[in-house]
Amino acid sequence: MTRVRIENLVRSYGAHAVLKDISLDIADGEFLVLLGPSGCGKSTLLSAIAGLDQVQAGRILFDDRDVTRLEPSAREIGMVFQSYALYPTMTARANMAFALRVVGASRAEQEERVRWAADLLQIGHLLDRKPGQLSGGQRQRVAIGRSLVRKARLFLFDEPLSNLDAKLRTEMRNEIKALHERLGVTFVFVTHDQIEAMTLATRIAVMDAGVIQQVDTPDEIYRRPATRFVADFVGAPAMSFLEGELVAPDRVRIGENTVAVPDYAWRSAPRTGSVVFGVRPERVSVAPVPGTATVAARLRGIEPHGADTLVWAELSGQRLSARLTPEAAAGLPQSLHLDFEIEGVSLFDPDSGARL
Amino acid sequence: MAITPQATARFVLVPTILLTVVGYYGSILWTIGLSFTPSRILPVSRWAGLDMYERLLSTERWQVAYTNLFVFGGLYIGFCLAAGLLLAIALDQGVKGRSVYQTIFLYPIALSFIVTGLAWRWLLNPTTGLQDYVRSLGFESFSLDLLSSPERAIFTLVIAGVWHSAGLVMVILFAGLQSVDQEIWRAGRVDGIPRHRMYRHVVLPMLWPMVVTCLVLLGMNVVRSYDLVVALTGGGPGFSTDVPAKFIVDHYFERQSVGLASAAATLLLLTVVVLFALVGLLRRRGEAA
């Protein structure tokens, strides 16, 4: 049972700052996902929490205990690595029991802990094999098992699914989620895959360039992204961004068109001036006839995705996409009348990228 | 009929293949054949059965030379592996100026065994080398006289050999250590495994194939150890530091007993074949592990 508190963490390699004054609170029993593109500092942050990477400034607290200078082994953590990092010349059993063996645990205790973890992960029949004789998914299970055998209060996962194929990834994702529910301890999980983040997390911390952009529930991250970066990074197909101008508190002009934003949930009092108008593709629809709320656009292309079809349109010289059912996308005319649902609209400051 | 590129390639290789078959395997077969003849200065083709082998095995000089092969080989390989491994681990720990040390320890490999032998002969010579130097510093009773002692001269070969070859082992094992995934070390730290136990239980077993490679390379040095002996001790005092290769060359070209030398060469070949079969077994066990 561990609460993690990160205070003003700084890590840089020479002149290159990887973590810039990071602060983050992780509640007990939470499944926190660190999400971001490669090089954003998410793995470095995880290494700092694990104690594998020294930080230059700031503190890390586990349940109010300062662990900033503690060795990883003293932090009571379990960690699963991207490459699995199993000891290749040892059997799965020896891999899992090695840490206990080194601290001099009795054979019976080693066997009991390994048995417990193996049952939990259903790898009992693999215990006598070496990593080279296991498939990727089985290795991953053994790696998780190894982290379970020591009594850990906090589990850290460093992109553990990125070396698996798509089907196995879905399977392991479900298993990790079930494991979290079963153990009830705190999980911190690093990934660049937004689907993993959305499906696993109780909260997601989106990182970019060494800064946490937003920490929120997956739903909140998706519906009300705090910055343009978050809006762009999360969501597939991606949000469309159009440059416009706020001409009245409920009106955005985009080129010669005007879009009404009557019920927009403003973060601060609206100020007229240029804005970035972002809209989720699934919240764009095509109206059969022009209405008071529709804007005129030209059809630019159609991408069938199977379950739905992505329609590309041009609005006053700027491109945007609409996610329609294949039926709705069939036989569209060249000139379209688009309708935006206000729930899918986000407005950003063009300079700072912050949500308005 | 058109000539295919493959046919051309085979044709071009014919001289090389002929040279190998005749010059190499042919010579081996001829040597084995000669070992069953009573040839003296020139080869004769009279059958003498195992006479030469009987004479060889009762020759004291051969007994010493054959024993030395294992004494020198065992100590040389053992110390080379130990020293090379320790140096490699030291480098892997991230010593400052790593490339400088690497060059220093690898440098002796660039020297031939002849030069190595001569250098150590001067160094160990009581009247001109280390002993004289230390005495000139005032330690009058200092004595370092390995070369003139029949029991200890063999160790000078070991010292010079290890000095020469430990760097090679270091480089090979260091490359192996560098190729160990950093995440394995990180996993060990999370697991709370002390470094020395990581080396013993995890990293060294991973390096097994490279250790076997070193074993083969060093083993070949032992079998062909001729130049080092000639340059350093000349096989002496007496024939106390003789090795099979030197015994064979001496008997072929100086003592005019081609039959005896051939028998010795055949025995040496047999020994090597057995040893390399053992290494092959070791390698397969490493792969299964």
> Structural domain boundaries of chain B?
59-288
Q: Is A234 exposed, middle or buried (0-12, 13-18, 19+ CB in 10 A)?
A: buried
Residue percentage of chain A with pLDDT more than 90 = 40
Residue A97, both tokens: 């029991």
CA separation, residue B83 to residues A312, B26, B80, B221, B282 (Å): 68, 40, 5, 17, 21
* Beta-carbon separation of B194 and A52 below 8 A: no
Alpha helices in B140-257 (DSSP H): 153-178, 182-191, 195-197, 204-206, 208-223, 227-232, 244-253
> Looking at residue B287, what is its pLDDT?
62
Report pLDDT for A30.
93
pLDDT tens track for B189-217: 998 899 899 999 999 999 988 998 899 89
Using beta carbons and an 8 Å cutoff, which residues of A are at the interface with B? 47, 50-52, 71-74, 77-79, 81-83, 85-90, 98-99, 102-103, 130, 146-147, 150
CA distance A355 to A350: 10
Question: What pLDDT sits at residue B282?
Answer: 80
Cα A23 from Cα A29, distance rounded (Å)? 19
Residue linked to tokens 């095509």:
A286
pLDDT at position A231: 93
Distance between CA B43 and CA B28 in Å, rounded?
Answer: 15
Whole-angstrom distance, CA of residue A193 vs CA of residue B28: 64
Q: Is B206 within 8 Å of chain A by CB?
A: yes
Contacts of A87 in chain B (CB under 8 A): 184, 187, 201-202
B288 close contact with A: CB closer than 8 A: no
- What percent of chain B clears pLDDT 70, i.e. is strictly above it? 98
pLDDT for B34: 84
Query: Given a cut of 90, is residue B133 above it in pLDDT?
Result: no
Judge whether A228 and A235 are in contact, CB under 8 Å: no
> Which residues in chain A have their CB less than 8 angstroms from residue B211's CB?
none
Average pLDDT over residues A56-72: 89
Instruction: Measure the CA–CA gap between B265 and B39, rounded to whole angstroms.
Output: 14
Print burial letters for A196-205: b (CB count within 10 Å at least 16), e (below 16).
bbbebbebbb
The DSSP letter of residue B2 is: P
Q: Residue A192 — pLDDT band, cuts 50, 70, 90?
A: very high
Q: Could you tell me which residues come within 8 angstroms of residue A156 by beta carbon, excluding any fewer than 6 positions away?
A: A46, A49, A50, A77, A78, A79, A80, A187, A188, A189, A190
| Over residues B236-246, mean pLDDT | 83
The pLDDT tens digits for A117-174 are 998 888 889 999 999 899 888 999 999 999 999 888 899 999 988 888 888 888 889 9
**Chain B residue with minimum CA distance to A81:** B183
Decide if pLDDT at B30 tops 80: yes
pLDDT for position A156: 93
Handedness of CA A72, A76, A82, A88 (dihedral sign): positive
Which residues in chain A have Cβ-Cβ distances shorter than 8 Å to B286?
none
Nearest CA among B34, B89, B77, B76 for reference residue B56? B34
Sorting pLDDT into bands at 50, 70 and 90, what band is B286?
low
Average pLDDT over residues A199-213: 92
Taking an 8 Å cut-off on Cβ atoms, the answer to whether B191 and A98 are in contact is yes
CB contact under 8 A, B190 and A83: no
Q: What is the mean pLDDT of chain A?
A: 89
What is the C-alpha separation between B155 and B74, in angstroms, rounded? 11
Structural domains of chain A, with CATH: 4-224 (3.40.50.300), 240-348 (2.40.50.100)
Q: H or E segment at A247?
A: strand A240-248
Among the four given CATH numbers 3.20.10.10, 3.40.50.720, 3.40.50.300, 1.10.3720.10, the one describing domain B59-288: 1.10.3720.10
A356 token code pair: 């308005």
Residue A310's DSSP bridge partners are A303, A323
Which among A322, A310, A221 has a CA at the least distance from the CA of A281?
A: A322
| Tokens 């700084």, residue located | A10
Contacts of B190 in chain A (CB under 8 A): 50, 52, 72-73, 77-79, 147
B192 in contact with A, Cβ within 8 Å = yes
Question: Mean pLDDT across the stretch A65-83?
Answer: 89
| Reported confidence tier of residue A35, pLDDT bands at 50, 70, 90 | very high
From the list A73, A15, A86, the residue with the least C-alpha distance to B191 is: A73
Res. B289: pLDDT tops 60:
no
- A211-226 pLDDT, tens per residue? 999 999 999 999 999 9
pLDDT of the residue at B285: 72
For A75-100, how does the pLDDT look when each residue is reduced to its tens digit (9 = 90+)? 889 999 988 899 999 999 999 999 99
Host H or E run for residue A311: strand A309-315
- What ipTM was predicted for this assembly? 0.83
pLDDT, one tens digit per residue, over A276-332 is 999 999 999 888 888 777 888 888 989 999 889 999 999 888 999 999 998 888 888
Do the beta carbons of residue A175 and residue A120 sit within 8 Å? no
Q: Are strands A251-254 and A257-260 parallel, antiparallel or unpaired?
A: antiparallel
**What pLDDT was estimated at residue A198?**
93
Is residue B109 less than 8 Å (CB to CB) from chain A?
no
